[in-house]
Amino acid sequence: MFRSDVIAAYSGGRLPGAIGIVRMSGDGAFDVLDRIFRPKRGKKMSECNFNQMIYGELLAADGQTLDICLACAYKGPHSYTGEDMAEIFCHGSEAIVAAALRSAYHAGARPAEAGEFTKRGFLRGKMDLTAAEAVADLIYARTEQGAKNAAALLEGYHARPLAAMKERLLGLIAHFYAVCDYSDEDIEPFAYAQAAAQVADDARALEGLYEGYLRSSALKDGVPVAVVGRPNVGKSSLFNRLAGFERAIVTDEAGTTRDVVGQHIELEGRLFHLMDTAGIREGAGQAERMGIDRSYAAARDASLIVAVFDGSRPPSAEDLEILRLCRGRTAAAVVNKCDLPACDWAVLADAFDTVLPLSARTGEGLEGLTGWLCQNAPDSGEILITGQRQAALIREAAEALRQAQQSAELGLTADAFLLDAERAARLIGQVLGEDVDIDITEGIFSRFCVGK
């Protein structure tokens, strides 16, 4: 295996904080550690147990004690990077961390680049490229659901079946070559129908993965939810209630909101992208009319619609336009201002499965709406591929397999089948990080933070 220099970086959260983590990795990491951390019990760090927290003194570059804290050494290859690695858990002060890093550099380490620890893990075969990408997903996860998805990807939820698929394909290809090259020997003849069925199964699996990727934006960008209604019914008030702060302007004038106002919220571990919109009405001025066009566009593009009505006033023609807008969509009707004397809104029962009386002013009935949002968020608990790089390769591999399937079904020459099957196997390998261009891997790791 290649030798690698010792890298060091700060790997913890924002400083100051309770604990700061200084991490190092590489051949000679334990030499650096021995020079900058002295266990209280007298032994050197490199003589203590691995994977065990050791209490001791963190030393500055001049040898003076900087902090009394903990450190842990991890012996390669059983570490995150696959190399000898160590972490020092010092007090989370900027001064201590900066001095500890200076001390590590003085002892022979160099500053790590963004994502370099994970890159080393990848290059040492500790993880495939999908797992490395999942690490970035984990770090940037905005919700519990996003983190769970990333954790499953990190554990090879899709990578393992993909690796198996590639092996099966290679087996099929090898069999094909054997039949062609040693036709007079006792090799089972090649069954085109069976080959066609196998690549069709694989193509279907890949297509499913790609479709999942198209749905995965809900994990990162949130489920888009449009709040629509005629002016002054309380859309912005409701939107602010859900956001938990005064995000949008509220006045008692009709036509307050002119533009789409977006806000991410998390409910029960899921991410939603709420959009407050301009009230829909006829005869508005130019700016408001442009806003109303955007309301329609937001409603069209959203997965879920929250249609708001003013329960203290009778239904109007403008309200009926909202009913029309929601037809055939996943929409809930909110009959707002339930703190005021109510008018008859029975008309909504025909148009909506869900009608929720609510007061944006007092918050009464809000849990009915949040419950509806969570129930209707498209989440099947399915683990989705999230990376555009992987998705593009998977789609291409699926297309190659469909072509191979066609060649097999038509009984074309072996060449036609082999060419596409081999291309598919290569593309699947690239998903996992085999034969991937150095520029591509550099691009992936540079998106990480320093210290990971």
Residues that bind ligand GTP (CB under 6 A): 229, 231-237, 250-252, 254-257, 278-279, 336-337, 339-340, 359-361
Q: Toward ligand GTP, which CB reaches closer, 53 or 320?
A: 320
Long-range contacts of 162-171 (CB under 8 A, 24+ apart): 162/130, 162/428, 162/431, 162/432, 163/128, 163/428, 163/432, 165/202, 165/205, 165/206, 165/428, 166/425, 166/428, 166/429, 166/432, 168/198, 168/202, 169/199, 169/202, 169/421, 169/424, 169/425, 169/428, 170/425
Min dist CB 286 to ligand GTP, Å, is 16
Q: What single string gives the DSSP state of each residue in 80-92? A: SSSS-EEEEEEEE
C-beta closer to Mg ion: residue 256 or 330: 256
Distance CA 212, CA 234 (A): 36
Name the minimum Å distance from CB 305 to ligand GTP: 14
**Which CB atom, from 238 or from 400, has the smaller least distance to Mg ion?**
238
Question: Shortest distance, CB of residue 357 to ligand GTP, whole angstroms?
Answer: 10
Closest approach of Cβ 364 to ligand GTP, in Å? 8
**Amino acid identity, residue 38?**
R
As measured in angstroms, the least distance from the Cβ of 285 to ligand GTP is: 13
CA–CA separation, 37 vs 69, rounded Å? 9
Token pair of 318 as six digits: 């403008």
Nearer to Mg ion (CB atom), residue 246 or residue 364: 246
What tokens appear for 188 in the block?
């089972």
Which lies closer to Mg ion via its Cβ, residue 162 or residue 278?
278
Residue 299: partners with Cβ closer than 8 Å, 6 or more residues away: 226, 228, 277, 305, 325, 329
3-state secondary structure of 111: strand
Give Cβ neighbours of residue 42 (< 8 Å, ≥ 6 apart): none
360 binding partner (options Mg ion, ligand GTP, none; Cβ < 5 to 8 Å by kind) = ligand GTP
Q: What is the DSSP letter of 113?
A: P
Strand partners, 300: none
Q: Which residue is nearest to ligand GTP (CB)?
A: 279
What's the CA gap between 412 and 409, in Å, rounded? Answer: 8
Rounded distance between C-alpha atoms, residue 316 and residue 353, angstroms: 20
23 binds, among ligand GTP, Mg ion, none (CB under 5 to 8 A by kind): none
Interacting residues with Mg ion (CB under 5 A): 235-236, 256-257
Minimum CB separation of residue 325 from Mg ion in Å reads: 17
123 or 348, CB closer to ligand GTP? 348
Of the pair 66, 265, the CB lying nearest Mg ion is at 265
Give the N- to C-terminal CA distance of the chain in Å, as an integer: 22
- Closest distance between ligand GTP and the C-beta of residue 292, in Å? 10
Type of residue found at 434 = E
Residue 120 or 337 having the CB closest to ligand GTP:
337
290 binds, among Mg ion, ligand GTP, none (CB under 5 to 8 A by kind): none
Q: Is 69 helix (H, G, I), strand (E, B) or coil?
A: strand
Binding partner of residue 340 among Mg ion, ligand GTP, none, CB cut-off 5 to 8 Å per kind: ligand GTP
* Closest CB 239 distance from ligand GTP, rounded Å: 7
Among Mg ion, ligand GTP, none, what binds residue 198 when CB lies within 5 to 8 Å by partner kind? none
Residue (4 or 237) nearer to ligand GTP, CB: 237
| Residue 449 interface partner, choices Mg ion, ligand GTP, none, CB cut-off 5-8 Å depending on type | none
- Minimum gap (Å) between residue 284 Cβ and ligand GTP: 10
232 binds, among Mg ion, ligand GTP, none (CB under 5 to 8 A by kind): ligand GTP
